[in-house]
Copies of this chain bind each other. A is one copy, B any other.
Amino acid sequence: MRAAPFFFIMLTTLLSAAQVSAFDYWQTLPSSPVIPENNLQTPEKIALGKQLFFDSRLSQRGDVSCNSCHNLSMGGDDDGAAMNMPGRDIIRSAPSVWNVGYMSTYFWDSRAASLEAQATEHLLDPNIMAMQNATLLEARLKNISGYAGIFANTFADKQISLQNITQALASFQRSLIVPGSRADQYIAGNKAALNEKEERGYHLFQEQGCLSCHFGTNFAGPAPGPGLKMGDAFFELYPTVRGSLYEQKYDMLSDLGYFHVTLDPEHKLFWRVPPLRNIADTAPYFHNNAVNDLHEAVRVMNRVQFNYPITEKQVDDIVAFLKTLTGQYPTIELPRLPESHGVSLVQ
């Protein structure tokens, strides 16, 4: 493996030397993400979270649910549609919600330290769900009689509150696990799981440098667990190698990423390393959806992160490997939502 490119880890607890020596860059998907102690999983909470995830009444105009842009019939994203939606000023790609529980921070710029915080921000963002405030959101759900009993059966305080809404949404999302990719089988030791071309891609992914950032559980750097707390972020400078024509072609310099969170000039163009699982199902690519082809995404990353020589055959091999990161999506029963009988709440 070549040396890692310049990157920046904001870890309050760095991995100890002993942990590093035992660390395996190639990891399979654990059966569950780390569950926070202040929001333990229960079947009731997951079921309620699923209802809320599909409930467009969580948006002010009633026109979108979480599932509208994080589509569980597909790769958990939106095919790039949200950035083109009329009446909304959405500037970044909707990331996949599958396996999202394995991340340590949320949003492209890492500004939310938990799924719960991320959900709160989505609900109140005027360009996304656009609820004006928590009170109005809570009042709306309180007007849906069926939710009262469901919240009462789910939470000790029995309340329909923003906190409980976001806890349920986060619990459901932590259950959205896509295991069993052929890459996982290969990493676990089944060398027959990849064909020759994919195996070449696997080795190139490491040798070319991709793995130096896209390692670990979610191919997004360290995952929460021993040595990494929730909220600790793993960033990458993008682009790292400056001066390519791609910078203008794919508009790489106008959105400064993490800088917008801290206003620290040293954080300009820092981005949370995005996960690569199911990457073949989440085009278009990059924070701004600028590249709509996985081959081109590999070419671009190689140029602006490493600027190593690469052939088209090598790009094709890496893409073949990336396609083996697609797991076995679970089946999901469409939830039935409680009604506000005889009246619409979004009119």
Q: Which residues of A contact B (CB under 8 A)?
A: 54-57, 61-63, 68, 71-75, 78-82, 84-88, 280-281, 283-284, 289, 292-295, 319, 322-323, 329, 331-337, 339-347
Q: Within the complex, which residue of B74, B323, B345, B346 is in contact with A342, where a contact is CB–CB below 8 Å?
A: B323
Complex Cα gap A56–B141 (Å): 27
Given contacts A56-B81, A73-B335, A283-B342, 14 further A-B contacts (CB under 8 A): A56-B71, A57-B79, A61-B81, A61-B84, A68-B68, A79-B346, A292-B344, A294-B341, A294-B343, A319-B342, A322-B342, A331-B336, A332-B333, A332-B334
Q: How far is the CB of A83 from chain B (nearest CB, A)?
A: 9
Consensus secondary structure, chain A interface: loop
User: Contact: B339 with A74, CB < 8 Å?
Assistant: yes
Complex Cα gap A88–B85 (Å): 11
Complex Cα gap A78–B283 (Å): 28
Complex Cα gap A322–B342 (Å): 9
> Assuming A72-B334, A323-B341, is B62 touching A79 (CB within 8 A)?
yes
User: Contact: B62 with A81, CB < 8 Å?
Assistant: yes
User: Contact: B342 with A75, CB < 8 Å?
Assistant: no
Chain B residues whose C-beta falls within 8 Å of the C-beta of A75 in the assembled complex: 339
Interface core residue of A71, A85, A295, A344 (most chain B CB under 10 Å): A344
Q: How far is the CB of A331 from chain B (nearest CB, A)?
A: 6
The 7 closest A-B pairs by CB, nearest first: A86-B87, A294-B342, A62-B81, A283-B344, A280-B341, A79-B344, A63-B81
Chain B residues whose C-beta falls within 8 Å of the C-beta of A340 in the assembled complex: 283
User: Contact: A339 with B292, CB < 8 Å?
Assistant: no
Question: What would 5 A/B residue contacts be, using CB atoms closer than 8 Å?
Answer: A63-B84, A75-B339, A79-B347, A284-B343, A322-B342
User: Contact: A339 with B280, CB < 8 Å?
Assistant: yes
Q: How far is the CB of A260 from chain B (nearest CB, A)?
A: 24
Q: Within the complex, which residue of B54, B61, B284, B335 is in contact with A85, where a contact is CB–CB below 8 Å?
A: B61
Q: How far is the CB of A116 from chain B (nearest CB, A)?
A: 23
Chain B residue at smallest Cβ distance from A51: B73
Chain B residues whose C-beta falls within 8 Å of the C-beta of A63 in the assembled complex: 68, 81-82, 84-85
Q: Within the complex, which residue of B86, B333, B335, B339 is in contact with A86, where a contact is CB–CB below 8 Å?
A: B86
Interface core residue of A71, A340, A341 (most chain B CB under 10 Å): A341
Complex Cα gap A293–B341 (Å): 9
Chain B residue at smallest Cβ distance from A71: B56
Chain B residues whose C-beta falls within 8 Å of the C-beta of A84 in the assembled complex: 61-63, 346-347
